[in-house]
Structure 1
Amino acid sequence: MTDVVWLILSIGALLVGLLAGLVIGLARRRRVDRPAGPTVAALVQRLVHSSHNGIVVLNHFGDVVLHNPRAAELGLVRNHRVDPRAGKAAEVVRETGDPMEIDLSPLAARGRQPEAVLGEVRPLGDGFTAVDAADESDAVRLEATRRDFVANVSHELKTPVGAMALLAEAVLDAADDPPAVKRFTAKILHEATRLGTLVTELIALSRLQGAERLPELNTVEVDAVVREALGRSRLASESTGINIATDTDSCLLVAGDRTLLVTALSNLLENAVAYSPPGSPVSVSRRLVDGFVEIAVTDRGIGIAEDEQQRVFERFYRVDRARSRATGGTGLGLAIVKHVAANHGGEVRLWSKLGTGSTFTLRLPAHGLVTPAQRTTGAPPSSKGIEHSDPAVPVASTDHGGAL
């Protein structure tokens, strides 16, 4: 072999070696430059564990292969064993290959445990199945509330409408008896007024429930709200011989809707009058406590049992149905008070004892004070913030069992 051939072969081998080294170097550089990160399996594991739903993966024996903490919280997995209802559903899904919905609600819900858990079992292939469960307690409670509300509204509307129909027939039958016609017509007017009040309060309640807080707030004098509410309740109190006593003006201010606040306080006063014996006292007091204006309405009525004190703020709930019917109550007054307070950033509190009486306290964030000079001259009230109790502001008695 000539020297030229050897030279050519050597150069070729050198070029091949250089090319191979270059390729290997580039490959190593790519591997070094590629950022380290989780694998697809690790990402799937993270997804399952971070899911708001309870997820369980079962093998063809029905054993738990994978589950997230939420599945344990919903009671889907206990001691590494799946809920028997989900296990049976998984067997059916493995045989049919079709997804299956299942109710996994706890048999005895206690405390904060979910009340309604709905799930779906899906096939994953090769004998594996997945159970995906969600807490639907809020939706179930909301639907139950909606059904109750529709049933209650239907019942409440049916009563005056049915009474008006019967009274109209009575008027027709007594066409030749003027005194009877007058008596039945007065009853028709009473039922029509009651029906109109019910519809008005239903509309007001629906509007209040649609808003978290009032979008536009005006400066409102608490004393003016009390005076207007007392004016609305005067006829009912005078007809029953009930005297409504008040403390001195407080000069307190709140930010809100005056009409709604007057409606809420009027409802509390009307409730106090309706559930008090004739001639008994009712009082209204105002005070400033830790940056909140408290307007308390206290009566010496029948009182409310402890187990009913939270329910009185529900729509259409009545402590004494017979008395409420007699006074024309709709059962919506306290529900409206509750939502008015919430929409103003406040709350309504209740203290009551059977045979002693009740105190409903409307608590609203304070907005400032109006001075006597401003009230005399008509100047705009101050809207300075108040954070602590002012000793100059009259404080109502907190002894609900004492004399009014």
Structure 2
Amino acid sequence: MHYCPYCGSLVIEEEKYCMKCGKELPSDFDERVTSSKSKWKWWKYPIIISLVIALFITVLFVRTQQQENDAQELYQQAEEMALIGDYQTSKEYIEQALDHKNNFPTAKAVLDFLKIAIESKNTINDIDALAKNQNYEEALDKLTAIENNISGFKGDLINKLNTTVSDYRNNILYQQAEHKLTNDLSKDELKELLWEVEEITDEKAEVIKEAIQEKIVAHTSNHATELLKENQFNQAMLVVEDGLIYAEESEQLQSLKTTVEKEKIAFETAQEERIEQALTIYEQEDEINRNQAVEVLNVNASVSTNEITVTGEIKSVATVPINSILVSYQLKNNDTQILENDVYVFPETLYPDEKGKFEFTHFNKEIKNNDLTAEVTKITWFID
């Protein structure tokens, strides 16, 4: 059988032109021998190619989808491991997930975090050793470094690690506070320690906080009591009020504050009374010092030929020194005043309870008899 090489139609051997497509048939009959099978292949090539491409795309899609699913499954497993703190296994799962799906930004971000988390976990092991050796400050510095390293990340995994770091910080601060409390700390050092304990977000911090407050109360009470003994009431009150800032519910300090207030009032009242008494005494003493400061012990007059000698002794009953003491006296003969005179006492200054003397001789005085008496009529003095 012969066929048109152009359209594949059946032709007769004698025909020169195809009755269907009108094209001139080859004169060589061998070129006309084209089977219907060849014709079919000619028309089906595009279809076959299309089917092959479609099959390839389908297989590729299915494989890609499978890799996507495997990557997601591995990612979930990695996340579960990370949440329980097994960062090394989690890292292995993430790396496998990235082998299945290279374009996986979330997994890459988690891998970055896991590298830091593994490093942080190793650091935490070092922190345990530092805490056991009481190197608390270095341990706290390492925890701060971990917090800085993970500060750029967010999510549940970060929250989990942050919680772990926070728990370690609380524990180390607690151990540090307990260790410091074994020492004999000053009040200022106790205040500083109390501020450090305030950073502990744990219930057990209350126990150490109360212990610190008790020591602050003891220091405050002792200091304030010493100041009270010296009647430094204002300073004692400042000390007590400062202690109440750190132990505001302390009944001991509240009671001590009341005691200071009462002691201050009692002291001021007594002081006012003492001042009043002192003023009264001063007024009385001033009255004596000004008007009754000298007591005359004796005064005598002796007569010799044409001479009369007057002698006497006085005593200071003043409470302050007196000076320039001038004694005025008169001489009488048979109750008749024959003369009067002034004479200074010596020494010039007399101190309280000190005695002084005076003496004066009158010359060319004729006395008819020896019945002569001397009498002090006035004494004057000065007070410094």
> Normalization by structure 1: what TM-score?
0.20
Indicate the structure with greater helix content: 2
Which one has a bigger Cα radius of gyration?
2
Pick 1 or 2: higher relative contact order, CA cutoff 8 A, min separation 6.
1
